[in-house]
Structure 1
Amino acid sequence: MAETLHRFLSAPDGAAKVMAHAQLLRRLDDVFRRVAPEHLVQASNLANFKSGILVIHAHNGAVAAKLRQLAPTLANEVTQRGIDCRGLQIRVHAPLARIPTATPQSRPLTAGSCERLAALRESLPASPLRQAIERLLARSARQE
């Protein structure tokens, strides 16, 4: 199966162009990560390479502005590493915002609940359930 897939991906009428472009993008990404400043690499992604123009997505406008300032230098560095790069195109492409999850608030057990759980604990033999109830009661006592 893997051999058949590899043959299809490398065949001229298959996905050879896509594979070649993917390998070029991987190589360009490695070069970009080596030549660009680390803080800019962390705040941007290599997006594409078309017609000799390297397309980079910056996470915000400040990073985009700094990358635009460095564009001639970065293009020259990429060219020196064997890839004909005539320039960079920088686009602001903010990453997906993470929705903050609400932290569940712990509610203390009422006195009646503690009494009923303590009675249940005493009626149980030594077991994982009894240990869990003991931990719950101990945690509840610490919160009060």
Structure 2
Amino acid sequence: MQARSLEDCLKADGGLARLSGHAARLLRLQRVFESAVPRPLARGARVANLKLGKLIIHADSGAAATKLRQIIPTLVDVFHNEAAEVTGIEIKVQPRQHSGSSHPTASHAPLGDHAKQGLTSLADSLPENSPLRGALKHLVKHT
């Protein structure tokens, strides 16, 4: 029995073939969108769907949505030239969902030995009852 590729399996089923084709169109439209808007704006928005010629774009914030709404005429022209099936654009505010907690967690690089020594030296030079001294000692201990 010969193994079939995932693409072959998707094309074999009519419903999955339509879904796969729609996903491919959305990916192509996302690439056009990313090339048409400034990079910071592209990071704050994404192509969400295409329904009856109307492209739905989700923005992470009201500010990003406002900026996108200001350039809709330009975007319509770009999409019309690159992808004839786009006849209109709708912008919606839809913040990205973060996995895990509702607040993104900050990531930090571990402190090197030299940095730890410097912070320890600074903490040792501070008065014994200084809140900064305690905070620095805690930082060195937990990184």
Question: In the alignment, which residue of structure 2 is the partner of 1:86?
Answer: 87
One-letter amino acid of the counterpart of residue 91, structure 1: K
* 8 A Cα contact 1:76 1:85, kept in partner: no
Residue pairs, 1:61-140, within 5 angstroms: 61-95=62-96, 96=98, 97-100=102-105
Query: How far apart, CA to CA, are the structure 2 residues paired with 1:60 and 1:42?
Result: 11
**What is the alpha-carbon distance in structure 1 between the residues aligned to residue 37 and residue 87 of structure 2?**
16
Residues 71-99 of structure 1, C-alpha deviation per residue, up to 9 Å, x if partnerless? 12101111101332111111111224534
Aligned to 1:132: none
Q: Give per-residue Cα distances to partners, 1:36-61, cap 9 Å, x unaligned.
A: 22221111111111111111111111
Tell me how far apart the structure 2 counterparts of residues 21 and 73 of structure 1 sit (CA, whole Å): 24
The residue that corresponds to 2:47 in the other structure is 46
The one-letter code sitting in structure 2 at the alignment partner of 1:80 is: N
Secondary structure of 2:71's aligned partner: helix
Gaps of 5+ in 2: 125-143
TM-score, reference length from structure 2: 0.64
**Sequence identity of aligned pairs in percent?**
33
1:52–1:85 CA contact under 8 A, matched in 2: yes
CA RMSD of aligned residues (A): 2.8
Unaligned 5+ segments in structure 1 are 104-134
